[in-house]
Structure 1
Amino acid sequence: MASHLVGSFQLMKSLNRSLILNIIRSTGGISRAEIAKKTKLTPPTVTNIASELLNDGLVVEGQQGPSSGGRKPIILRINSRNFFVAGIDVGVSKIRFALTDLEAQIVLQNTIPIDDSMTEEDFVQIIIREILRLVETAAIPKDKLIGIGIGMHGIVNSSKGVALFAPNLNLKNIPLKERLEEELLVPVRVENDARAMALGESWFGNGVGAEDLICINVGYGIGAGILMNNELFRGRHGLAGEIGHTVADLNGTKCTCGNYGCLQTVAGHDGLKRAAMREISFGRKTLITDLINGDENKISGELLHKAALQGDELAIEIFRDAGRYIGTAVTNLIHIMNPSKIIIGGGISKAGPFLLDPIREVVKQRALDEEAKETVIVQSGLGDEAALIGAATLVLAEMFAVQYQNQKEIL
């Protein structure tokens, strides 16, 4: 019984600490008295925890705040550049690494290409090497790195930190959390890349303030990160959000998953490339032909966007068709999950209105009622860094987030 009570006391202490940290972070700076008012914690509790946070170097005292009479209060702020987080984005053709501060501002980053012959051991050792290199290059003490977040393509067991299946690496059951924590001696969090992006957008991007949102990552593959009531929704086996493998065309092209006509075969990178190559082979006149100069491998979302900006009808048509396919999938998601906001990210999303306008048009045409038709659909607010910041947010969210609504005071 005694150990249970000690454990409960430590839990409440941790919850109150996270509660106070998050209020300091979200307000940008606040006095102890205002923290007590907002949290309903007693002033002595706030003072004690604030002292701990100051001693730990997590917060600093700033300028004095306005006074309503008497001594001016001292403002507490997050000491954002005293500790750091590593974010890792494991994509299709490359692995991106970043070091961020406690406000998810990127301090340093690097990119490593993925070798087709990469083994599990190669993969793990590259991560270890690059994390150590970032820390050394940034000239920060190792104990200032408080965690590592990894956004993985494919299927992930986030609770165990295992990459169950990374199709583009052709690797299975990689115990990333166990291996990296053993080698680097810092906490490691592993999540599907689209879910990491959704978390990053909700904390630092275009999803701030939205309790329910869906972030769709459109690149080589297409995946969705679902946030409901401020919590990531993973599904029973971690498959929630795999909309790239929902059927868009029953008679379509074979997908990497083995099925036919998946959404990513018509609206992902390779689908857009196939559409361009097909029309060019039919003799259609297009600026794309001039831009690739006979090399079909040059066809990419970026090149198609460049052509679209110059008014090329084929490029515009390709994005419009992809947008309609995605718009149909988004409409289905709205009818199933009914989120307040849809965020479109990933490399293909850089096409902006060429892709987003047809998505919005389909939703307006096909959604059930007026409110559903007006679901907010926006581009990622984090752009190219969405996956990296999302990976870092896996650690930051755990550090700052308050997991329970009913907080109890520690007297």
Structure 2
Amino acid sequence: MTMNYNRGSFQMMKSMNRSIILNMIREDGPISRADIAKKTKLTPPTVSKIVKELIDTHYVIETTQGASKGGRKPTLLAINADEFFSLGIDVGAYQMKFVVTNLFGEIKDKVTLSIQPHPAQEDILETMKEGIHQLITSGKNDPDKFLGIGVGMHGIVDPQSGTSLFAPSFNLYNIPIKETLEAEFDMIVKVENDARTMTLGEYWFGHGNDADTLVGVNVGSGIGAGIMVNGRLFHGEDRLAGEIGHMTIDLSGPKCTCGNYGCLQTLAAGPAITARAAKEMKAGRTSVIRELVNDDFDKINGEIIYKAACQGDEFGTELLNQAGRYLGIGLTNLIHTMNPKRIIIGGGVSKAEHFLMEGIEETIQMRGLTDKAKETSIVLSKLGEHASAIGACVLVLEEVFVR
């Protein structure tokens, strides 16, 4: 059944001046009309006219929370943050995370659904629909105030058509995400690679908001990167930019699902760390991991390895440090190629935090070409496990705030 929800007031957002003023209120608000005119060099009547439209469409409200210089407090303008909502989906290998955010990227509702093993296209699309229906009808937020849906999908994506060209974890091709969801929900749908949405989320609401040149690295079941140049996502000629998980690190390394050998993700992604742990434990390696899984090595996962490391287990610590060193090689290559101001690391493996960062920093210090390269800012995601889903919400917010 087709749902009929408000697409939001996008029609009035076509003016560049409107976008400039709205963004200024978002970034600098509460702010006065006079300060907007001064900063934008627009005439006061032009500012007043646009501000009136923004207030009439409920994107902006007036507030008196500014400091008074004597007499009445000035009337300032602020984003009406909870008047509209965006819905974001992060499609991983085993589960989908759904979030609802307001205009400031603050999570207002969320749900996580499992993805069945070896799903068909229809299974993926039906799981998306189920999660969206749950959040829109949960009663926590007015359905008429949803601006749109953003999807962060692992693998290769065509953002223009909103199609998943290849989802390696499912071995599926050409999933028509945008077409299907727009027909079902009658609102705008934007689709992007999950590492790029993570990077976009961090750029807007996380550790990237002061960096025009930024790389976000999503380390989970696979490894992907989002690259931002001058505040815009970079896709490359054939949308392959950022597929650093398939950067060759070891010519004699393990075979990757892509068919090559020694790809970064065969050495540092979650399944690679788990596989090495299981292999060495079966060969008799001493570790507290053995007790944690009761000698059932099929139960070894990233959480178990991290727990062992936190207990001071030498093998658990070694596994995470080594993953960090392999990642450090990949990040050094990125630094020498992109020279970004900052690299942000997210995804499930990033929960290993200092165990991972120790190996990363050690390798970059050893391999960085110059002192400046070695000083590149490398931080963990501020938005954590919901970074990609929040970034998917930003895909919709860009339609409102950016022109």
Q: Give CA-to-partner distance per residue, 1:219-276, whole Å, 9 cap, x none.
A: 1100111111111111111111111111122122221112221111110111111221
C-alpha change, 1:286 and 1:74, in structure 2 (3 Å) is same
1:199 aligns with 2:196: no
Q: Give CA-to-partner distance per residue, 1:151-193, whole Å, 9 cap, x none.
A: 0000001122111011222221112112211221111110000
Paired residue secondary structure (2:212): coil
Aligned AA (1:178):
E
Paired residue secondary structure (2:150): strand
C-alpha change, 1:150 and 1:368, in structure 2 (3 Å) is same
Q: Give CA-to-partner distance per residue, 1:107-149, whole Å, 9 cap, x none.
A: 1111111112432223223322321221110343332110111
- Aligned position for 2:338: 337
Partner Cα separation in structure 2 for residue 399 and residue 297 of structure 1: 47
Paired residue secondary structure (1:236): coil
Shift in Å, 1:11: 9.6
* TM alignment of 1:1-400, pairs within 5 A: 14-68=15-69, 72-400=73-401
The farther-off stretch of 82-91 and 249-258 is 249-258
Partner Cα separation in structure 1 for residue 373 and residue 353 of structure 2: 22
Paired residue secondary structure (2:209): coil
Q: Give CA-to-partner distance per residue, 1:334-366, whole Å, 9 cap, x none.
A: 000000111111111111111012111111111
Identical residues among aligned pairs (%): 53
Shift in Å, 1:67: 4.6
Q: Give CA-to-partner distance per residue, 1:349-384, whole Å, 9 cap, x none.
A: 111111012111111111111111100111111111
The farther-off stretch of 289-298 and 67-76 is 67-76
Partner Cα separation in structure 2 for residue 148 and residue 335 of structure 1: 36
Q: Could you state the TM-score of these two structures normalised by the residue count of structure 1?
A: 0.92
Is the CA contact 1:247–1:261 (under 8 Å) kept in the aligned structure 2? Answer: yes
Is the CA contact 1:224–1:243 (under 8 Å) kept in the aligned structure 2? Answer: yes
Is the CA contact 1:161–1:176 (under 8 Å) kept in the aligned structure 2? Answer: yes
Gaps of 5+ in 2: 1-10
The farther-off stretch of 27-36 and 211-220 is 27-36
The farther-off stretch of 41-50 and 84-93 is 41-50
Aligned AA (1:18):
S
The farther-off stretch of 161-170 and 197-206 is 161-170
Shift in Å, 1:70: 6.8
Partner Cα separation in structure 2 for residue 14 and residue 169 of structure 1: 41
Partner Cα separation in structure 2 for residue 140 and residue 382 of structure 1: 22
C-alpha change, 1:36 and 1:388, in structure 2 (3 Å) is same
Q: Give CA-to-partner distance per residue, 1:365-409, whole Å, 9 cap, x none.
A: 1111111110011111111111111111111133213x4xxxxxx
- Aligned position for 1:7: none
Partner Cα separation in structure 2 for residue 279 and residue 247 of structure 1: 24
Partner Cα separation in structure 2 for residue 253 and residue 160 of structure 1: 35
